[in-house]
Amino acid sequence: MGPVAWTWVLVGASFALYALAGLWGRARTTSAYYVAEKQVSPVLNGMATGADWMSAASFISMAGVVALLGRDGSIFLMGWTGGYVLLAVLLAPYLRKYGKYTVPQFVGERYYSRSARGVAVVCAVFVSFTYVAGQMRGVGVVFARFLDVPVERGVLLGMAIVLFYAVLGGMKGVTYAQVAQYVVLIAAYLVPAIFVSIMLTGNPVPQLGLGGRVSAEGARILGVEPGVHLLQVLDRIGEDLGFGRYTAGARPRIDVLFSTLALMIGTAGLPHIIIRFFTVPKVRDARASAAWALLFIALLYTTAPAVAAFARAGMIQSLNGKRHADAPAWVADWERTGLVRFTDRDGDGVMRISGDPARNEVRIDPDVLVLANPEIAGLPPWVVGLVAAGALAAALSTAAGLLLVISAAVAHDLVKGMWIPRVSERGELAWARGAATVAVLVAGWLGVHPPGFVSEVVALAFGLAASSFFPVLVAGIFWRRATREGAIAGMVTGLAVTTAYVHWFKFWHPELDVPAHWWLGISPQGFGTVGMLVNLTVLVVVSLRTPAPPQAVQELVTNLRYPREPVRPAPAPTALRVGDRR
Average pLDDT over residues 256-269: 86
pLDDT band at 582 (very low <50, low <70, confident <90, very high): very low
**Residue 35 reports pLDDT greater than 60:** no
Burial class (CB in 10 A: 0-12, 13-18, 19+), 395: buried
Residue 254 within any structural domain of the chain: yes
Average pLDDT over residues 572-580: 41
Q: What is the pLDDT of residue 171?
A: 59
Report the range out of 139-148, 331-340, 439-448, 451-460 with the highest average pLDDT: 331-340
DSSP string, 531-579: HHHHHHHHHHHHHHTSPPPPHHHHHHHHHHH-TTSPPPPPPPGGGGGTT
Residue 457's nearest CA partner among 151, 127, 158 is: 127
Per DSSP, the three-state class of 229 is strand
- The kind and range of the H/E element at 292 are helix 283-301
Residue 490 within any structural domain of the chain: yes
Per-position b or e across 482-516, b if 16+ CB within 10 A of its CB: bbbbbbbbbbbbbbebbbebbebbbbeeeeebeee
Q: How far apart are CA 496 and CA 486, in angstroms?
A: 15
Residue 44's nearest CA partner among 178, 147, 139 is: 178
Per DSSP, the three-state class of 398 is helix
Q: Are 30 and 429 in contact (CB under 8 A)?
A: yes
The answer to which of 151-155, 181-185, 499-503 has the lowest mean pLDDT is 151-155
Q: How far apart are CA 435 and CA 34, in angstroms?
A: 13
CA dihedral for 259, 265, 269, 274, sign (positive or negative):
positive
Q: What is the pLDDT of residue 338?
A: 78
**Residue 565 reports pLDDT greater than 90:** no
Q: How far apart are CA 285 and CA 456, in angstroms?
A: 36
Return the higher-pLDDT residue of 12 and 283. 12
pLDDT digits 0-9 by tens, 337-391? 778 889 988 888 999 888 888 888 998 888 788 888 898 888 999 998 899 889 8
Percent of the chain clearing pLDDT 90 (strictly above):
19
Q: Are 495 and 468 in contact (CB under 8 A)?
A: yes
pLDDT band at 74 (very low <50, low <70, confident <90, very high): confident
Q: Are 83 and 264 in contact (CB under 8 A)?
A: yes
CA gyration radius for the chain?
Answer: 24
The neighbour count for residue 310, using CB atoms within 10 Å, is 30
Q: What is the pLDDT of residue 450?
A: 61
Return the higher-pLDDT residue of 411 and 265. 265
**Residue 479 reports pLDDT greater than 90:** yes
Residue 342 within any structural domain of the chain: no
Q: What is the pLDDT of residue 485?
A: 96
Strand intervals (E) in 291-414: 340-342, 362-364
Q: What is the pLDDT of residue 191?
A: 94
Average pLDDT over residues 34-45: 69
**Residue 31 reports pLDDT greater than 80:** no
Q: What is the pLDDT of residue 393?
A: 82
The answer to which of 27-31, 154-158, 172-176, 421-425 has the lowest mean pLDDT is 27-31
Per DSSP, the three-state class of 213 is strand
Residue 355 within any structural domain of the chain: no
**Residue 574 reports pLDDT greater than 60:** no
- In total, how many domains does the chain have? 1
Q: Which domain holds residue 415?
A: 3-313+380-577
Residue 528 within any structural domain of the chain: yes
For residue 91, the Cα-to-chain-centroid distance in whole angstroms is 18
Assign residue 57 the CATH number of its domain.
Answer: 1.20.1730.10
Q: What is the pLDDT of residue 213?
A: 92
pLDDT digits 0-9 by tens, 111-168? 999 899 888 888 888 777 777 777 777 777 777 777 677 777 778 877 777 776 566 5
Helix locations, 454-509, DSSP H: 454-478, 484-503
Q: How far apart are CA 456 and CA 247, in angstroms?
A: 25
The neighbour count for residue 257, using CB atoms within 10 Å, is 15
Q: Check residue 32 and give left, alpha or beta (phi > 0: left; psi -120 to 50: alpha).
A: alpha
Q: How far apart are CA 82 and CA 78, in angstroms?
A: 6
**Residue 567 reports pLDDT greater than 90:** no
Q: How far apart are CA 59 and CA 51, in angstroms?
A: 10
Q: What is the pLDDT of residue 169?
A: 54
The answer to which of 331-345, 446-460, 463-477 has the lowest mean pLDDT is 446-460
Residue 363 backbone dihedrals phi, psi, to 5 degrees = -115, 125
Q: What is the pLDDT of residue 38?
A: 62
Residue 368 within any structural domain of the chain: no
Q: How far apart are CA 473 and CA 451, in angstroms?
A: 31
Q: How far apart are CA 294 and CA 312, in angstroms?
A: 27
Q: Check residue 380 and give left, alpha or beta (phi > 0: left; psi -120 to 50: alpha).
A: beta
Q: What is the pLDDT of residue 192?
A: 93
pLDDT digits 0-9 by tens, 383-441? 988 998 898 888 777 777 777 778 777 887 788 877 888 888 788 878 887 888 888 88
> DSSP letter at 224?
S
Q: How far apart are CA 293 and CA 300, in angstroms?
A: 11
Residue 513 backbone dihedrals phi, psi, to 5 degrees = -80, 65
pLDDT band at 201 (very low <50, low <70, confident <90, very high): very high
Return the higher-pLDDT residue of 457 and 511. 511
Residue 26 backbone dihedrals phi, psi, to 5 degrees = -55, 130
Burial class (CB in 10 A: 0-12, 13-18, 19+), 82: middle
Residue 431 within any structural domain of the chain: yes
pLDDT digits 0-9 by tens, 309-324? 888 888 888 888 889 9
The neighbour count for residue 426, using CB atoms within 10 Å, is 11
Q: Measured between alpha carbons, how far is residue 58 from residues 75, 303, 310 in Å?
A: 13, 11, 17
Q: What is the pLDDT of residue 37?
A: 54
Q: How far apart are CA 72 and CA 79, in angstroms?
A: 12
Residue 393 within any structural domain of the chain: yes
Percent of the chain clearing pLDDT 70 (strictly above):
88
Amino acid at 292: W
Average pLDDT over residues 235-245: 80
Q: Check residue 214 and give left, alpha or beta (phi > 0: left; psi -120 to 50: alpha).
A: beta
Average pLDDT over residues 477-493: 95
Task: Please give the mean pLDDT across all residues of the chain.
Answer: 81
Residue 229 backbone dihedrals phi, psi, to 5 degrees = -65, 140
CA dihedral for 522, 528, 531, 533, sign (positive or negative):
negative
